């Protein structure tokens, strides 16, 4: 295992084994390079693949972030610089991406379709806001605005008061699906700070200043969506699944491997609900 100095913080396995295919993992809020994927996923895949685990800049240590963080175009550029440093030119790879990693990773596939062989997206919303009840729309918009405001306050009035404002949201009487669950995230709760909310801030800033958002286009490569019921609980379904037998865990991991090595004829498979459904689909 190596941790090279890259714009997106990275942990790399088997970098010298150039005969192995590559899987690039990008975690979203609030995970670092490997926290959301547990230990069994890298242990399993490193036998057969070169593995690159990434997180957003500052998600390994939010104190490293520059003032005002990075907008989404800057993140796209930094991701390209990171992959250029870690992957030989022209070599293709598979993306396994989560949350904000899915947003940036899909935009990367849009601009570099020749190198991304497939996308596996974990816990990312793909619905139209117009298809949801107004209550759920308000909840989705509400938590994102709250996180954006938390980041804005951290840059204006300082981290202490901004953190207090940020943590209040955790105690609001909103459904559990719409707020981080401290018992189910896999980094120390104390390390989750408003400074990590810069993607939400820049999304809102872009919308308010331009009246538009640069959204990803639908991927042109084979794409697998795996969406759990509680998608804001950050990999909760993967880790809860780890409490089952090792045989079930291996099945879940093998499904990702099957998808990346035997690409479907269609472009998209959507799996809603539990890993058991995921396993049943491939079987």
Instruction: Convert the pLDDT of each residue in 156-203 to its tens digit.
Output: 999 999 999 998 987 877 666 556 555 555 677 778 899 999 999 999
Alpha helices for the chain (secondary structure H): 40-45, 72-86, 100-111, 134-156, 159-168, 198-210, 236-241, 246-261, 275-282
Domain boundary among 210, 240, 262: 210
What pLDDT score was predicted for residue 235? 34
Q: What is the mean pLDDT of residues 127-147?
A: 77
Same domain as 133, residue 116 = no
Same domain as 90, residue 185 = no
What pLDDT score was predicted for residue 217? 85
> Which residues touch 125 (CB under 8 Å, ≥6 apart)?
140, 227, 231
* Whether residue 248 has pLDDT greater than 50: no
Task: Tell me, yes or no, whether 4 lies in a domain.
Answer: no
* Whether residue 77 has pLDDT greater than 80: yes
Are 15 and 6 in contact, with CB atoms under 8 Å apart?
A: no
What pLDDT score was predicted for residue 1? 77
Q: What is the mean pLDDT of residues 197-217?
A: 89
What pLDDT score was predicted for residue 25? 93
Structure tokens at 239: 């880790």
Distances (CA, A) of 171 to 148, 192, 240: 17, 15, 23
Considering just the CA atoms, what is the radius of gyration of the chain in Å? 18
* Whether residue 120 has pLDDT greater than 90: no
- What does the buried/exposed string (b/e) look like for 231-243 if buried means 16 or more CB atoms within 10 Å of the residue's CB? bbbbbbbbbebbe
- Single out the residue of 171, 163, 159, 195 nearest to residue 61, CA to CA: 195
Task: Tell me, yes or no, whether 73 lies in a domain.
Answer: yes
Task: Tell me, yes or no, whether 2 lies in a domain.
Answer: no
Across the beta sheet with 93-98, what order do the strands follow?
10-13, 50-54, 22-26, 93-98, 116-122, 223-227, 268-272
**Residue 185 burial class via C-beta count within 10 angstroms: exposed 0-12, middle 13-18, buried 19 and up:** buried
Q: How confident is the model at residue 149 (pLDDT cuts 50, 70, 90)?
A: very high
Task: Tell me, yes or no, whether 33 lies in a domain.
Answer: yes
What pLDDT score was predicted for residue 66? 92
Relative to beta strand 223-227, strand 10-13 is unpaired
41: left (phi over 0), alpha (psi -120 to 50) or beta: alpha
Same domain as 143, residue 122 = no
Domain boundary among 188, 210, 232: 210
* Residue whose entry in the numeric block shows the structure tokens 């972030």: 65
Q: Give dist(CA 100, CA 103) in Å, integer.
A: 5
Query: Does residue 273 or residue 92 have the better pLDDT?
Result: 92
Give the torsion through C-alpha atoms of 188, 181, 64, 72, to 10 deg.
Answer: 160
Q: How confident is the model at residue 41 (pLDDT cuts 50, 70, 90)?
A: confident
Same domain as 197, residue 107 = no
Same domain as 23, residue 112 = yes
What pLDDT score was predicted for residue 191? 84
- For the ranges 139-148, 212-221, 226-235, which has the lowest average pLDDT? 226-235
> Which residues touch 109 (CB under 8 Å, ≥6 apart)?
95, 116, 119, 216, 219, 220, 221
What pLDDT score was predicted for residue 56? 96
Residue 221 lies in domain: 10-128+216-282
Q: How confident is the model at residue 232 (pLDDT cuts 50, 70, 90)?
A: very low
Q: Give dist(CA 52, CA 48) in Å, integer.
A: 13
Query: Does residue 265 or residue 72 have the better pLDDT?
Result: 72
Same domain as 152, residue 36 = no
* Whether residue 108 has pLDDT greater than 60: yes
Domain boundary among 163, 185, 210: 210
Q: Give dist(CA 253, CA 256) in Å, integer.
A: 5
Same domain as 275, residue 146 = no
Distances (CA, A) of 249 to 131, 146, 238, 276: 34, 35, 9, 10
Helix pair angle (72-86, 198-210), 10° resolution: 130
Q: Render pLDDT for 80-104 as a digit per residue (tens, 0 to 9).
A: 999 999 999 989 999 999 889 999 9
Percent of the chain exceeding pLDDT 70 equals 71
As a whole number, the mean pLDDT across the chain is: 78
């Amino acid at each position: 295992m190596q941790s090279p100095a890259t714009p997106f913080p990275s942990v790399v396995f088997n970098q010298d084994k150039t005969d192995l295919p590559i899987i690039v993992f990008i975690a979203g809020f609030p995970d670092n390079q490997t926290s959301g994927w547990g230990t069994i996923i890298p242990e399993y895949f490193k036998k057969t693949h070169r593995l690159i685990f990434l997180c957003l800049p500052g998600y390994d240590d939010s104190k490293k972030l520059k003032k005002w963080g990075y907008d989404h175009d800057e993140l796209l550029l930094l991701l390209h610089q990171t992959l250029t440093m870690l992957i030989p030119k022209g070599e293709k790879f598979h993306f396994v991406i989560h949350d904000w990693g899915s947003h940036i990773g899909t935009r990367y596939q849009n601009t570099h379709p020749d190198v991304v062989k497939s996308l596996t997206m974990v816990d990312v919303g793909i619905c139209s806001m117009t298809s949801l009840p107004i209550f759920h729309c308000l909840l989705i918009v509400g938590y994102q605005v709250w996180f954006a405001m938390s980041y804005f306050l951290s840059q204006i009035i300082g981290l202490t008061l901004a953190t207090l404002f940020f943590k209040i949201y955790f105690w609001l009487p909103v459904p559990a699906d719409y707020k981080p669950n401290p018992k189910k995230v896999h980094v120390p709760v104390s390390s989750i700070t408003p400074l990590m909310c810069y993607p939400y801030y820049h999304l809102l800033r872009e919308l308010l200043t331009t009246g538009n958002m640069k959204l990803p286009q639908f991927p042109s490569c084979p794409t697998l969506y795996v969406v759990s019921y509680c998608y804001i609980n950050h990999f909760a379904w993967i880790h809860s699944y780890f409490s089952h037998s090792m045989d079930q865990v291996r099945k879940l991991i093998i499904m990702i491997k099957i998808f990346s090595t035997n690409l479907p004829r269609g472009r998209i498979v959507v799996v809603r609900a539990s890993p058991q459904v995921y396993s049943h689909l491939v079987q």
